[in-house]
Structure 1
Amino acid sequence: MVRKYEWSLLILRVVLGITFLIHGIAKFQMGLGNVAGWFDSIGIVGFLGYIVSFIELFGGIALLLGIGTRIFSALIAFVMIGAIFTTKLSVGFMGNETAGYELDIALLSIAVVLLISGSQLFSLDHKL
């Protein structure tokens, strides 16, 4: 019997997976060199742009498939903490002309819930 909270965790896993898959695809489409250049321009080592792009793309896929949910949720949580403290904190919670960190906090919260609880329903981890 599937417990009700497993459905909730599945919803969170799928939403987080889709969100980061789309962000990862967007970074690959704009070119990883451009992503690394943008990281350099804001004072972050450009190589981290490659790492973040791969975490977003492959983390999104992994979450959708239910592979390594806790590991990829932890990596995504680190990405969100980095985004908040390097680019979003200075513009405030709601932002001004650019987005604030309200969405980043929500995505970070989802990642932390999945890190703590995992998500077994319809996951390949559970099947394996």
Structure 2
Amino acid sequence: MNSTAGMGVLVSRVVLGIVFFIHGLMKYQGGIENTMGFFDSLGIPGYMAYPVGGLEIIGGVCMVLGLGTRIFAAIFSIIMITAIGFAKLAMGFAGYELELILLAMSLHLLLAGSHFWALDRVFSNQAPPSTTSQ
């Protein structure tokens, strides 16, 4: 991967991590009971608000750091598919466009992984990314 493409992945990873971190935080700050009620109204067990919010917070931080990028990208993909299918699809495109973008970003990171400024590279003994242009 050339340096320009790697920097693009870095930008996507950091932005996705920040968005999920804030969404997870909002689930708890707004009163997790409200999120539980919303989940229940969708037919999703209310207690799922706890792990979803927690995964968004922890996964968001890890995504920014580039730690477990593919794992959290897969988890975020599942969360977005569920959100689109259960809550947003009936609203039409305007109702699920953000979730679709977040799903696309998550799938991209799931496939591309993380290279620049990522702890994944440190723990996997990968060589530093090439900076040659292709």
Q: Tell me the TM-score normalised to structure 2 length.
A: 0.86
Query: 1:80 maps to which residue?
Result: 80
The number of residue pairs the alignment matches comes to 123
Query: 1:21 maps to which residue?
Result: 21
Q: 2:112 aligns with which of 103, 111, 117?
A: 117
The runs of at least 4 consecutive aligned structure 1 residues that moved more than 6 Å come to none
Deviation at 1:45, TM superposition (A): 0.9
Please report the RMSD computed on the Cα atoms of aligned residues, expressed in angstroms. 1.4
Deviation at 1:34, TM superposition (A): 2.6
Q: After superposition, give the CA deviation of every residue in 1:85-120 in whole Å (9 maximum; x if it has no partner).
A: 0010001001xxxxx101111000000000001112
Percent of aligned pairs sharing the same letter: 46
Q: Distance in 2 between matches of 1:48 and 1:112?
A: 22
Counterpart of 2:115, as a letter, is: Q
Q: Any gaps of 5 or more consecutive residues in structure 2?
A: 124-134
Structure 1 or 2, whichever has the larger Rg, is 2
Instruction: Please show how residues 1-128 of structure 1 align to structure 2 within 5 Å.
Output: 3-94=3-94, 100-128=95-123
Q: Any gaps of 5 or more consecutive residues in structure 1?
A: 95-99
**Which has the bigger relative contact order, CA under 8 A and spacing at least 6?**
2
Q: Tell me the TM-score normalised to structure 1 length.
A: 0.90
Q: Distance in 1 between matches of 2:33 and 2:71?
A: 26
